[in-house]
A and B are shown apart, each in its own frame.
Chain A
Amino acid sequence: MGTREVELDILKEVGTIGGGNAATALSSLLKTPVQISVPLVQMVPFPELLEAAGGEEKVAAVTFLRIAGHISGSIFFVLEPEEMQTVGRALVESWNISRTPENEQDLFASALCELTNILAGSYLSALSDFTGLYMMPTVPSSAVDMIGALLSEGLIEAGLEGDEAIMIDTNMTKGEHQSQMAGRFFMLPDAHSLPKIFASLGVQESGA
């Protein structure tokens, strides 16, 4: 196993623990069992990231937030619009707020931001525990549009210098029958933060 593979393997482990924490939080919020696994952690060129998220032209609800602190990075949570309605409805109901056709979309957008906060918080606290580095999520923004249009702007905001990103992909299932949840969660540490993360995990960057 090369150094890079060891590093990605550790990130996958961190992701799995973070996913477990997030699943527990989501299960209680959505009142249905949620499971989150991390099938994939890899370095990907930007076009492949778009493909993994569903393709550049596909319309999705995307929530974006930045990671600040000792390290920086970006988090994207990509949900199919129908799933956004389902999840949004479940969350809003738990808030005991009256929902009208006028305020519905705004409430769903808030719900999505809330959901992303929970996911991001779970991942970041797992990563913090492993690395001893301080990090926190910034306020999320969400929008429904073409994946290409949304992810590109998010990555540019993140100061996308290179054309590659580390992608911590997730697989989410929910309900008694563990039906696939049409959502993908991507955590993308910024390029200059990677050596810091790996150094704190005790892996020496070769050639860096």
Chain B
Amino acid sequence: MKNVDVKPAKVKVAMADMQWGQNGDILTTSGLGSCVGIVIYSLRCQCACLIHAMLPSSEMAREGQHVNEAKYADTAVKKAFTGFEERRIPIDSLEAKLAGGARMFQFQTDHLNIGKRNVEAAKELLAGRSVSLTAEETGGHIGRTIEFDVATGALRIKPTGGETIII
């Protein structure tokens, strides 16, 4: 499916959204707080999917509500794998990286700690499909903006007011 005429692009992924990139594309998403950014990629096939998931499981959706698949880690990862299959990307060539899952507010009452649960859910989902997690930058109390370079597999992470790191 590779199209050599397509120029590399910077692809923006919104909150509760997922997008695909290939060859020299850069996939980016900003304002990751408790949300988790999940990159699933194949260096060999130069193809990647970036998910900006807000919640761990679609079971949290209200009864009868239309489910935006990208909003929940479980449905988003499922959709990503369907996408890799459609693109004929060998599943054994896939790897993953994670960022986000922070805890932004210090609550004094009951706390869902949704950031931690998002990261745990993402890890379980990836392990369940035997995709190895090569790197992660998760937790803490800080917001993050990330950029994934499909060509090299480098994930650049810019924490709010901090130094950019590459994992």
> Which residue numbers of A lie inside 8 Å of B, CB to CB?
46-47, 50, 56-57, 59, 64, 66, 138-139, 141-143, 145-150, 152-154, 156-157, 160-163
> Which residue numbers of B lie inside 8 Å of A, CB to CB?
14-16, 30-35, 54-55, 60-62, 65, 68, 71, 102-109, 111-112, 114-115, 141-145, 160-161
| Contact assessment for B31 and A153 in the assembled complex, using a CB-CB cutoff below 8 Å | no
| Contact assessment for A148 and B108 in the assembled complex, using a CB-CB cutoff below 8 Å | no
User: With a CB–CB cut-off of 8 A, which chain A residues contact B60?
Assistant: 161
| Contact assessment for A153 and B145 in the assembled complex, using a CB-CB cutoff below 8 Å | no
Closest Cβ–Cβ distance, residue B27 to chain A (whole Å): 16
Cα(A160)–Cα(B111), bound, Å: 14
Cα(A56)–Cα(B108), bound, Å: 25
**25 contacting pairs across A/B (C-beta < 8 A):** A46-B15, A46-B16, A47-B15, A50-B15, A56-B15, A56-B30, A59-B160, A64-B105, A139-B109, A143-B141, A147-B31, A148-B30, A148-B32, A148-B33, A149-B33, A149-B102, A149-B143, A149-B144, A152-B15, A152-B33, A152-B34, A153-B115, A156-B34, A157-B107, A160-B54
Residue of B nearest to A145 (CB): B143
User: With a CB–CB cut-off of 8 A, which chain A residues contact B109?
Assistant: 66, 138-139
| Contact assessment for A150 and B161 in the assembled complex, using a CB-CB cutoff below 8 Å | no
Cα(A138)–Cα(B108), bound, Å: 9
* Contact residue among B33, B62, B161 (Cβ-Cβ distance under 8 Å from A162): B62
| Contact assessment for B35 and A143 in the assembled complex, using a CB-CB cutoff below 8 Å | no
Given contacts A141-B105, A146-B143, A152-B54, contact A157 B114 (CB under 8 A): yes
Cα(A93)–Cα(B10), bound, Å: 48
User: With a CB–CB cut-off of 8 A, which chain B residues contact A161?
Assistant: 60-62, 65
Cα(A139)–Cα(B110), bound, Å: 12
User: With a CB–CB cut-off of 8 A, which chain A residues contact B102?
Assistant: 149
Cα(A153)–Cα(B112), bound, Å: 10
User: With a CB–CB cut-off of 8 A, which chain A residues contact B105?
Assistant: 64, 141-143, 150, 153-154, 157
Cα(A157)–Cα(B109), bound, Å: 11
Most buried by A among B32, B33, B112: B33
User: With a CB–CB cut-off of 8 A, which chain B residues contact A50?
Assistant: 15, 31
Closest Cβ–Cβ distance, residue B44 to chain A (whole Å): 33
User: With a CB–CB cut-off of 8 A, which chain A residues contact B15?
Assistant: 46-47, 50, 56, 148, 152
Closest Cβ–Cβ distance, residue A30 to chain B (whole Å): 25
Closest Cβ–Cβ distance, residue B47 to chain A (whole Å): 27
